Each structure stands twice: as C-alpha cells, then as structure tokens.
C-alpha cells in the first residue's frame, strides 16, 4: 500500500455558511485542515470586527471535541466600509478583507459598486497588514460570463496592484490562463488560490450531456485549455499558487432548481481531490508545498508542525449528506471513486 505523509494543510478559501450548516461544514473541514480562511458572505454579511468575532465564536462552538482547528476571519467590503473599520478589524484579529463586485456570486448583492471608491480602504489595509482577497470578475451584463475574469484583470486588478504595491492580494479561485499568467508575473505581494473543481473539470463537465448543477460554480468552469494552464502551474511548484477549495455548501433542492445556486461542496473530500489531481499530473511531490506551505508563507503565518498521512486506497464519495434538520446536500464528486484516502491527521 502506498502512503503519502505531508505537513498538515490549510484551506485558504471556504464557506461554512451559518447556524444549522455549521454542524456539518466545520467538522468536514476540521477533519484534515488546521486553519481556514472563512468567507464573510452571510445574510447579513460580516462587515465589521464585532460581527467577525461573533461569527468566529459560532464556528469554534461547532468544532469537534478536542479539535484545534482555527478559523481565520474576514470582513465583507462594502461601499460603507471605512478605514476605521480596517483598524478595528486588525485590532480584533481579523486576517483579511474580501472584495466581491456586487452581484458576482452567492449573497454578494451588498458588495462593492465602483471599486475605486474603496481605494482609501485599500490604503488602510496596506498600512495595517490586512490581506485583500478578491473575487475577480466584472459583473456587467454585456460581458460574456467566460470573459469576466480576464476583463477584471485588465480593468481593476492591474490598477489595484499598481496603486498599492505593498498590499498583499490573493486572486481567489482563478480559472483562466490569463489569471495564472498575471499572478506568475506579478510581485511577491500577489498570490492565488485554485479550487479542486477548476483543476479536475472544465466546462464540458458542466454542459455536455445536460446541465450538471452540482458542477456549477462561480467563477464558472472554463474551456479545457484554461484548465490545462492551471494544472501546469500547480505541477510546476510555483509558490504563488496555493490551496483554496472555495467549498460552498447548498441544500440539494437549491442546486437542483430552475435557478440553481453556484458552488461546489468539496470539504468532504478536499485533500483527497487535490491528491487525485497531483497524481494525475505525475507531481505528487508538489502537493505538500501547494497544500501546506505556500499559503501559510504568503499570509505570513508559521507553517503547521503536525503531519497528515494519505493512503492509496479506493473509496467512493457519498451520494449525499444530511444535516441535522433533514436537509440533504450533495458533495462534490458525489458517487465517484477517489484513489487516495485520509488515514491519519494531526500527527505529532
């Protein structure tokens, strides 16, 4: 039996949601990740330090007994966010702020309209050392959905990086060769997360043979040439790219709907999905850097000191999971067989 032991990984982008969802989503992540950057797009969104501290408390209360999992909190930027909000967030231990263009994804209607209006906030973030996490898509209806990431780079991301050269920016869940190239060529203050779905799938997996709602996410899956560019980048071991699942749980009936929700609930098998990718790429030796080292380094945090062991053992992702209130959710890759399985986590 083959085994793979790596430093305990972190997830640098995920959604726990809130309330009854936490009893499912927090343990699913805490089974293998030491830390996670928690997205703030709740209803209402987490817009200040007080709300972030309260949300962190709810997450910690949902951890399994004895778990040392640490949620890293973020603020949801709006046009009402002030530099003083940034100072207070830093004092409260908030790690980063999230920029959603209004309407870009789930629960983002309250987000930013007119990104340049946030430049004083970005300046405060640069001064305070809070990271800027960006959902990098424009939302104008006349822009084709498959082009929105590239247009965002040209219209907004490039100018932000130029205007704030010492502001750490994470271009989250990148999906295109354009994004990979931009990050690779940018300064050491720019990094990116890549999800399992954008490494494993392309838009054929969403549309061929009928629409597959559980593969629908935003940014939407792109053509296979973009998928290849992302796969080539992680296989290269470039340390500007690191693990961020964008795990996004939704009730089954909200995904399988005439207007289905965007998001893939990948936490249930996240590290195994990434191992699948890296083995396909004949780059399993690069998994530890991507999953366990590069994100912590970019965020300026210590690497984890415990270890995780995966074994080469086939297993099948469940068809669905059921919340305590009876709500069903379909995990990403439901019913499919994976070749790597978590054996032990948090080993000394």
Contacts of 280 (CB under 8 A, 6+ apart): none
Known binding residues for substrate are: 15-17, 41, 135, 218, 250, 262
Do the beta carbons of residue 43 and residue 6 sit within 8 Å? no
Residue linked to tokens 């039996």 = 1
The span from the CA of 287 to the CA of 219, in Å, is 24
Nearest to 340 by CA among 241, 242, 270, 291: 270
The span from the CA of 12 to the CA of 172, in Å, is 9
Nearest to 297 by CA among 232, 241, 233: 241
Contacts of 122 (CB under 8 A, 6+ apart): 132, 160, 163, 164, 167
DSSP category for residue 264:
B
Pairing relationship of beta strands 328-329 and 3-7 according to DSSP bridges? unpaired
Q: What is the distance, to the nearest Å, from the Cα of residue 125 to the centroid of all Cα atoms in its chain?
A: 20
Known binding residues are: 13, 15-17, 41, 98, 135, 173, 218, 246, 250, 262
Known binding residues for Zn(2+) are: 13, 15, 98, 135, 173, 246
- Residues designated as active site: 246
């Amino acid at each position: 039996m083959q085994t793979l032991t790596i430093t305990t990984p972190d997830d640098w982008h995920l959604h726990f949601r809130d309330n009854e969802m936490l009893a499912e989503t927090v343990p699913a992540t805490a089974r293998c990740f030491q830390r996670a950057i928690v997205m703030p797009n709740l209803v209402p969104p987490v817009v200040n330090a007080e709300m972030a501290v309260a949300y962190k408390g709810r997450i910690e209360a949902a951890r399994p007994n004895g778990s040392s999992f640490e949620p890293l909190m973020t603020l949801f930027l709006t046009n009402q966010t002030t530099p003083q909000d940034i100072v207070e967030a830093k004092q409260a231990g908030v790690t980063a702020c999230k920029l959603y263009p209004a309407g870009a994804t789930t629960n983002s209607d309250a987000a930013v309209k007119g990104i340049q209006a946030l430049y004083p906030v970005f300046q405060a973030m640069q001064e305070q050392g809070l990271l800027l996490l960006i959902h990098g898509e424009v939302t104008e209806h006349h822009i084709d959905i498959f082009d929105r990431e590239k247009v965002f780079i040209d219209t907004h991301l490039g100018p932000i990086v130029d205007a704030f050269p010492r502001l750490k920016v994470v271009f989250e869940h990148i999906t295109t060769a354009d994004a990979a190239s931009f990050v690779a060529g940018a300064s050491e203050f720019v990094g990116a997360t890549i999800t399992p779905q954008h490494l494993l799938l392309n838009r054929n997996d969403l549309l061929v043979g009928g629409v597959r709602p559980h593969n629908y996410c935003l940014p939407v899956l792109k053509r296979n040439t973009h998928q290849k560019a992302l796969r080539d980048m992680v296989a290269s071991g470039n340390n500007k790219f690191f693990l961020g699942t964008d795990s996004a749980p939704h009730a089954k009936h909200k995904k399988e709907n005439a207007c289905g929700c965007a998001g893939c609930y990948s936490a249930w098998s996240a590290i195994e999905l990434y191992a699948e990718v890296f083995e396909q790429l004949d780059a399993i030796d690069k998994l530890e850097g991507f999953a366990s080292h590069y994100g912590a380094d970019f965020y300026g945090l210590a690497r984890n000191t415990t270890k995780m062991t995966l074994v080469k053992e086939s297993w099948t992702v469940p068809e669905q999971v059921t919340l305590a209130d009876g709500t069903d959710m379909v995990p990403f890759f439901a019913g499919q067989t994976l070749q790597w399985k978590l054996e032990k986590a948090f080993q000394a």
